[in-house]
Amino acid sequence: MFVLWMLLISGKREELAGLESRETELRAQFTKEQERAVNLEPLKQQLAQMEQVLQQMLRQLPSKTEMPDLIIDISQTALSSGLSNELFEPEQEQIKEFYAEKPIKLRMVGSYHQFGAFVSGVASLPRVVILTMHDINLKPKNKTGGNIRAGALELSGTVKTYRYLDEAEVAEQQKAEAGKEEKK
């Protein structure tokens, strides 16, 4: 009888030990999920705030209709700073996820201080203008003729300015991205 009792109980004890172990795992998982749930609402609020700030910042960038005037303003700022525009060539706009990038090839000649005045002038334009400079060379200008002063520098390369995409452009971009995903 004792042997029979041991056989029945020992099987149940193993089952109980397994269930107790599973209970411990589930309690730990529950505690972890509960901690995440407690932080969920503040994280949602923080995300909403960040999205609002992003939208405000994007609205400060020039729009599609303001871009041609902005390019003219940048060119005029170079001229009013005393720089000579040897090349100022806007290139094809490149559409990104929620903004567009406008590369501009340029070659300008002037003094160090004139370049400083140009950058300062661009920074003070009414719209937020972000100029990133790529493949820029700044070197002494060779006197090959004309009105080039001694000590003149030549700046050549590509600058990029940015604008925000309006809602229709964002929707179009998302549709194009979805089309790319379907083809994969």
How does pLDDT run across 15-54, given as a tens digit for each residue? 888 889 999 999 999 999 988 888 888 889 999 999 999 8
Between 3 and 162, the higher pLDDT residue: 162
The CA distance from 110 to 148, in Å, is 8
CA pair distance 66, 58, nearest whole angstrom: 14
Per CATH, the number for 67-169 is: 3.30.70.60
What is the mean predicted confidence (pLDDT) over 156-163? 84
Helices vs strands, H then E, count in the chain? 4, 5
Contact assessment for residue 110 and residue 82, using Cβ atoms and an 8 Å cutoff: yes
Residue 118 three-state SS: helix
- Does the predicted model carry a pTM greater than 0.95? no
Check residue 144 and give its pLDDT: 58
**160 bridge partner residues:** 103, 132
